[in-house]
Structure 1
């Protein structure tokens, strides 16, 4: 099996290159999912909140679909940035008139005006943080069935204890030991959102979905306390992140990030990365603890806001002050320089005695309902366990 130069010869696996017919098949699978997620209706008033760095082909794809559905005048607002922390006043009249909104802007999920438009007017929203390049339609994650993804999310939702107090606990082999004290009302608030219901199609009043499917939903976020800034959530312990957005490589040093009552009070370590994180994070608040769910999302691509691969966590921190490191390193980042996502790939997460993630493996992938749903789309092992890097 070795030639005269000592090189291996032979082949034990099928060739990786797709046939032209397979590429066509894959493309139309992605197009179908795209058109179904963007559930635009003929009577919709479509608004796209875009930015100057968004692939213009993405804009054309969305407006083209809208026109094919009978929307004659989809409106595009092109901003110089995605980093709006609140909805700009100049955008509000256009937003108020819309019924279907597609956005790249950071403020989309938490801005009070945007929330009110969804709650009171039933606006349907799609956030396209992970659809900034039309060529992403050629990737496996773009053709992963949203119905199956929804089943994975619902399988995870079923693991939360209901109607009682419990601790949501995070650990790993580096020494992470973080606990969130949760009660039944907090879980009810979290799981009533459209994302936790596994609704991947933007066809329900007030929905907020991500495309490419999907980013989150979050194992914890401030919707648990109805986004009440006065509530201090009992989040205590230490996290040893493996990586963070804006850093070229994973951390070599074990860097402890210490939380006390949902705030970061200390960052240890002596490396340059630890020094940067210390200046950045101390005083910051954990506002979301997101989890990946798409088995075909690249596991180790954490830009721009964490990996969407199953069981990968991102600890979303709102910073106490704008960070110059972020301004230098990522001046055109999709998020403002007052936020940071810390990443772990190998966490174990428990809700009381229920293991939700086991050393980075999302256990809902083994839920019988998830497996049954996966077999309707093909090889369940390949679909759920064959994760791309």
Structure 2
């Protein structure tokens, strides 16, 4: 109903204010996920690679859990930044002694030394890019069951063709037509990683897990070619991103980003945003194409590295040179100024004749095994389709 001034009056939806009992219930659900994902053991040697801007309560929460589990002398290495592109030499002796590593540092996933520690020593790693503030425990994404997230990821993995060549295609209403030529060996490399197996708990030798349990695996990344920098992956076509990290608002202009054989060769457009992207991106290489998988991650929150809502994509570009715009706009960004994430919310992604994402909707959410798993934790429609905006 409307009053004489034309203002709407009345209420047609329930209040969003949680009761104190509900808040307690939610808190303990989040604590349980936190404790299970950080699967610390009494014989672990815990090393935390932290930075000056990390909420110290996060460090205290992790060391408190470690002590409760019987871990002796957890060690915290504090750096002035997260932006280490390679593992600092001063950190390596401490890493060699660790069995369990929690890290905020950018180099964690791709640094050869870190990879060797996981592969040869079975070191278990957790990256906490998305757990920089303890108050994040009071969010729906923090209490989303990691086992259910694993089911969603495995359902997506089952959609990839195996043992043959195919094209991974990206399209949208803006005109994106981007393709990645993929062979069976590349898919085996990709899907053989911990995260693509849906292993969201850090209890397996050599694992690399994200916490909060929201950042799923990449639809494409350089693990497909064994992280061999000399391999040129056939990535060709044009991408029209909707937004990028470090920009206050989504782009008003349709800005074409053109790929030719693994590199960005052209950025069109006449706007100021296009000028910035042109200077930033030309010569850059797509190193990871991340996809959101957690239905309770905020849909339109793209900082620091892209939204983790199901079907939202972030195209992670390593730049040809450090970018002054990033240095000015985000001097303390969690990633170094040689990286940029381009975002799309409405992509359609196909692998041969299989649709992985339909206009921004992750089709694995409709997989019968995913629905069955969701019903073990509550209402499947609420859990999988009620996305926070």
Tell me the TM-score normalised to structure 2 length: 0.99
- Aligned residue number for residue 87 of structure 1: 87
Q: 2:90 and 2:203 mapped to 1: Cα distance?
A: 27
- CA distance in structure 1 between the aligned counterparts of 2:232 and 2:191, rounded to whole angstroms: 20
Matched, 1:266 2:266: yes
Give the total of aligned pairs. Answer: 389
Query: Which structure 2 residue ranges, 5 or more long, are not aligned?
Result: none
| Unmatched tracts of structure 1, length 5 or more | none
1:118 corresponds to: 118
1:215 matched residue in structure 2: 215
Q: Residues 246-325 of structure 1: matches in 2 within 5 Å?
A: 246-325=246-325
* Displacement of 1:214: 2.3
Question: Separation in 2 of the partners of 1:300 and 1:4?
Answer: 36
Task: Show the 5 A alignment for 1:1-389.
Answer: 1-389=1-389
Deviations 1:95-134 (A, max 9, x none): 0000000000000000000000000000000000000000
CA distance in structure 1 between the partners assigned to 2:354 and 2:388 by the alignment: 27
Q: Distance in 1 between the 2:36 and 2:216 partners?
A: 20
d(CA) in 2 for partners of 1:6, 1:195 = 52
> Secondary structure at the residue paired with 1:110?
coil
Deviation at 1:34, TM superposition (A): 0.1
CA distance in 2, matches of 1:89, 1:278: 35
Q: Give the Cα separation in 2 of the matches to 1:263 and 1:58.
A: 38
Q: How far does the alpha carbon of each residue in 1:234-292 deviate from its partner, in whole angstroms, 9 at most, with x for none?
A: 00000000000000000000000000001000000000000000000000000011100
- 1:216 deviates by 2.8
CA distance in 2, matches of 1:246, 1:17: 32
1:11: Cα distance to partner? Answer: 1.7
Q: Is the 8 A contact 2:45 2:72 kept in 1?
A: no
Decide whether the 8 Å contact of 2:298 with 2:307 is kept in 1.
yes
The SS at the match of 1:269 is coil
RMSD: 0.6
SS in structure 2 at match of 1:102: strand
Hey, what's the Cα distance between the residues in 1 that align with 2:108 and 2:10?
Answer: 53
| DSSP-derived class of the 2:32 partner | helix
Query: 1:115 & 1:236 partners in 2: Cα distance?
Result: 29
* d(CA) in 2 for partners of 1:3, 1:255: 44
Distance 2:287 2:12 in 1: 48
2-side partners of 1:322 and 1:175: how far apart? 29
Give the Cα–Cα distance (whole angstroms) in 1 for the partners of residues 299 and 193 of structure 2.
25
Is the 2:316–2:340 Cα contact (8 Å) retained in structure 1? yes
Deviations 1:319-345 (A, max 9, x none): 000000000000000000000000000
**1:383, 1:31 → 2: CA distance?**
19
Please state how far the C-alpha of 1:5 moved relative to its aligned partner: 3.2
Task: Describe the SS at the equivalent of 2:3.
Answer: coil
